[in-house]
Amino acid sequence: MAADMTPLRLLALDGDGIGPEIMAATLAVLDALRPALGREITVDHATIGFEALKASGSTIPDAVVDAALAADGVLLGPVSHNAYPPRDEGGLNPSGVLRRALDLYANIRPARTWPGTKAPARGPVDLVVVRENLEGFYADRNLHLGPGEFMPVPGVALAVRRITEEASRRIAEAAFTLAETRPARRVTAVHKANVMRVSDGLFLDTVRDVAAQHPNVTYDEMLVDAAAAHLVRDAGRFDIIATTNMFGDILSDLASELAGGLGLAGSLNHGPRHAAAQAQHGSAPDIAGQDRANPVSLILSLGMLLRHLGEAHAADHLTTSLATCLARPQTRTRDLGGQLGTRAFTDTLVQTLAETGP
């Protein structure tokens, strides 16, 4: 039982493409987990993406942001933001908007191999990429006003990268705090300070300062190109990777693919007061509505959110039941070599939760 018995409120945002299907699966799993929860959880719903754009002129209306701020946690389905109209026509990236509005500075992306599933990695993988989420090169989040990319004259494009000591310290603290909960207790800072001496130099100096305050955690450093090579060669050497926004985005996708694919990779965005669970993969509009989507990524993200909110028992129960389903071909989705569609897999997982819980 959680120490705090205050009921929790979650906000579910389906998103685009396969979003409604995998959200329905995730909420069915949440319902099945209720006997294992220490607190009551209620779920509110709001609309984002193309449906919201059609109804209100924005892919994420202000009322949705207000609802997210009022919730204890957000379940965010995938969105087709690359297909949205320009920002001045209402085409905002809901994920980016929520990251800034809720101060979700840490993107936590585990990558692990699951017994019974195929993975390109040469050995077992069990690592977490802890990615800074609010600055770096990405144009939608690195300046107070205006984009970080601009074209002063035709044929010349420039991009501004923002790295601050404050953001670097926050993500480093998140990485070392997480490392202290894991058996290996190891943090690898990934950077490119040999070329970006000022910006990555600032990041690296800050991480070193935080590392000195955590002597029980083993600490090392690696250039980002070397880290990519080592992930392919021996991903098992990594435990926690702490890095900046763009490097973390790229390396987490690589790690997840090596461990079996983005469909088996959860993701949690968190800040000082808010958290949002989000599947690592995209909206896959080409298979939307066909009962073909694998809902595991968002379901795993739900588990991460529950753990973040103090519901470790329910999160452990979910992880164990998922492992049981993934271990057998007859209880996997088609993309993992099984025969189950989205709904049948969800029903199987719900049944497994009931048989092994709470």
As beta bridge partners, residue 107 has 131, 269
pLDDT at residue 145 in the model:
77
The reply to whether 243 and 333 lie within a common domain is: no
Which of 105, 138, 200, 219 is the catalytic position? Answer: 138
Q: Looking at the domain assignment, is residue 322 inside a domain? A: yes
Examine the fold and report which residue of 259, 294, 329 is the final residue of a domain before the chain moves on. Answer: 259
The reply to whether 244 and 133 lie within a common domain is: yes
Cα–Cα distance measured from residue 95 to residue 64, given in angstroms and rounded to the nearest whole number: 12
- Residue corresponding to tokens 């953001």: 167
Number of domains in the chain: 2
Which of 31, 209, 225, 234 is the catalytic position? Answer: 225
List the CATH number of the domain containing 131.
3.40.718.10
Tokens at 169, concatenated: 């310290």
Q: Residue 84 catalytic?
A: no
Residue 353: how many other CB atoms lie within 10 Å? 25
Q: Looking at the domain assignment, is residue 57 inside a domain? A: yes
Q: Give the β-pairing of 8-13 and 41-46.
A: parallel
- Residue corresponding to tokens 């492992």: 323
Cα–Cα distance measured from residue 35 to residue 4, given in angstroms and rounded to the nearest whole number: 16
pLDDT (tens digit, 9 = 90+) per residue, 303-345? 999 999 999 999 999 999 999 999 999 999 999 999 999 999 9
Q: Residue 143 — very low, low, confident or very high, per pLDDT cuts 50/70/90?
A: confident
Q: Residue 192 catalytic?
A: yes
Would residue 300 be called left, alpha or beta, if left means φ above 0 and alpha means ψ between -120 and 50 degrees?
alpha
pLDDT (tens digit, 9 = 90+) per residue, 70-122? 999 999 999 999 999 999 999 999 999 999 999 999 999 999 999 999 999 99
The reply to whether 307 and 253 lie within a common domain is: no
The reply to whether 164 and 142 lie within a common domain is: yes
- Residue corresponding to tokens 């800072």: 189
Q: Residue 253 catalytic?
A: yes
Could you tell me the CA-to-CA distances from 294 to 20, 281, 299, 345, 346 in Å, in that order?
12, 10, 10, 8, 9
pLDDT at residue 141 in the model:
65
Q: Looking at the domain assignment, is residue 354 inside a domain? A: yes
Cα–Cα distance measured from residue 333 to residue 18, given in angstroms and rounded to the nearest whole number: 15
The reply to whether 61 and 143 lie within a common domain is: no
The reply to whether 209 and 270 lie within a common domain is: no
Three-state SS annotation for 309-339: CCCHHHHHHHHHHHHHHHCCHHHCEHHHCCC
Q: Residue 31 catalytic?
A: no
Q: Residue 2 — very low, low, confident or very high, per pLDDT cuts 50/70/90?
A: very low
Its domain, for residue 101, covers 1-108+265-358
Examine the fold and report which residue of 259, 284, 316 is the final residue of a domain before the chain moves on. Answer: 259
Which of 16, 72, 200, 249 is the catalytic position? Answer: 249
Q: Looking at the domain assignment, is residue 22 inside a domain? A: yes
Q: Looking at the domain assignment, is residue 54 inside a domain? A: yes
Examine the fold and report which residue of 229, 259, 289 is the final residue of a domain before the chain moves on. Answer: 259
Q: Looking at the domain assignment, is residue 241 inside a domain? A: yes
- Closest Cα partner for 60 from 69, 50, 70, 73? 50
Q: Residue 1 — very low, low, confident or very high, per pLDDT cuts 50/70/90?
A: very low
Which of 126, 253, 291, 335 is the catalytic position? Answer: 253
The reply to whether 131 and 228 lie within a common domain is: yes
The reply to whether 225 and 284 lie within a common domain is: no
Q: Looking at the domain assignment, is residue 114 inside a domain? A: no
Residue 221: how many other CB atoms lie within 10 Å? 17
- Closest Cα partner for 230 from 128, 122, 130, 114? 122
Contact indicator for 160, 166 with CB cutoff of 8 Å: no
Residues of the chain with pLDDT > 90, as a percent, come to: 93
The reply to whether 102 and 144 lie within a common domain is: no
pLDDT at residue 3 in the model:
53
The reply to whether 70 and 181 lie within a common domain is: no
Which of 84, 105, 192, 200 is the catalytic position? Answer: 192
Q: Residue 220 catalytic?
A: no
The reply to whether 252 and 275 lie within a common domain is: no
Sheet architecture: strand order including 73-76: 41-46, 8-13, 73-76, 275-278, 268-270, 106-112, 126-132, 240-243, 186-191, 218-223
Q: Looking at the domain assignment, is residue 113 inside a domain? A: no
The reply to whether 236 and 205 lie within a common domain is: yes
Q: For the residues 24-32, what does the mean pLDDT come to?
A: 98
